[in-house]
């Protein structure tokens, strides 16, 4: 059997995407192993979820470091010592430094709650409701030096209803997030992702 893809998951909050990745791994629809979960927030609910499934957790408070660079160097150290192949940002509320991007070039994925390039940054769902778009959704993409600008891997659309609030739309988008993030990771595990410039091509079945 081929080696399982080794994941390092970075979180800051609830960790429902982390939970979905765990669930897909446990039911066999995602051939990967989570080597480590790192949270910059000691109170993140996601740390409880990880521990429940016997996944090692490290709390790394960014406020304990004198700058972003030092924080990221420690992140890199932990991820490398766990032989992580792919870094998964799952609600991780920190911007990564160039050194981190270089250490895991084209090996960092993020999920964003809007159809990029619309509504990047925080509160993607609120921006969509306030703008009045009829369709929003979520995007899994590789991380580059910009904010939510990297090559897009998978997107899923969600209809915006007339009476949607930020919360109701976010809840429907989250359901789609839980489907497409594990799919994108499985594509990576299968070696089916080809990046050309800012475009991702999904290779056909061999």
- Where do contacts with ligand GRF occur on this chain (CB under 6 A)? 13-17, 46, 90-91, 111-113, 174, 177
CB of 1 to ligand GRF, least distance (A): 29
CB of 123 to ligand GRF, least distance (A): 10
Of the residues 24, 112, 141, 178, which is catalytic?
112
Closer to ligand GRF by CB, 22 or 90: give it: 90
Closer to ligand GRF by CB, 51 or 83: give it: 51
Tokens of 25: 């791994």
Rounded Cα–Cα distance for residues 75 and 37 (Å): 11
Residue 133 phi/psi, 5-degree rounding, is -70, 155
Rounded Cα–Cα distance for residues 154 and 177 (Å): 10
Taking a C-beta distance cutoff of 8 angstroms, is the pair 1, 82 a contact?
Answer: no
Q: Where are the beta strands (DSSP E) in 28-147?
A: 32-39, 57-59, 86-89, 108-112, 135-142
Which whole-number Å values give the CA distances from 100 to 5, 17, 64, 87, in the listed order? 20, 22, 18, 10
CB of 81 to ligand GRF, least distance (A): 25
Closer to ligand GRF by CB, 91 or 101: give it: 91
CB of 50 to ligand GRF, least distance (A): 12
Closer to ligand GRF by CB, 60 or 73: give it: 60
Q: Is 141 part of the annotated catalytic residue set?
A: no
Residues that are catalytic: 112
């Amino acid at each position: 059997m081929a080696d399982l893809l080794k994941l390092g998951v970075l979180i800051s909050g609830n960790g429902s995407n982390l939970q979905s990745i765990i669930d897909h791994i446990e039911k066999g629809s995602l051939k990967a192993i989570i080597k480590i979960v790192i949270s910059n927030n000691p109170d993140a609910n996601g740390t409880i979820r990880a521990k429940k499934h016997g996944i090692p957790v490290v709390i790394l408070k960014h406020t304990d470091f004198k700058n972003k660079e030092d924080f990221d160097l420690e992140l890199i150290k932990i991820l490398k010592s766990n032989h992580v192949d792919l870094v998964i940002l799952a609600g991780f509320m920190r911007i990564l430094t160039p050194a981190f991007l270089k250490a895991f070039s084209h090996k960092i994925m993020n999920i964003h709650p809007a159809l990029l390039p619309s509504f990047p940054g925080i509160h993607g769902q609120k921006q969509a409701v306030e703008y009045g778009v009829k369709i929003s959704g979520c995007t899994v993409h590789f991380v580059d030096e910009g904010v939510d600008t990297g090559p897009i891997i998978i997107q899923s659309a969600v209809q915006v209803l007339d009476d949607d609030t930020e919360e109701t739309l976010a809840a429907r988008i989250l359901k789609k997030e839980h489907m497409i993030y594990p799919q994108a990771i499985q594509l990576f595990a299968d070696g089916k992702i080809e990046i050309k410039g800012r475009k991702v091509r999904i290779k056909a079945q061999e």
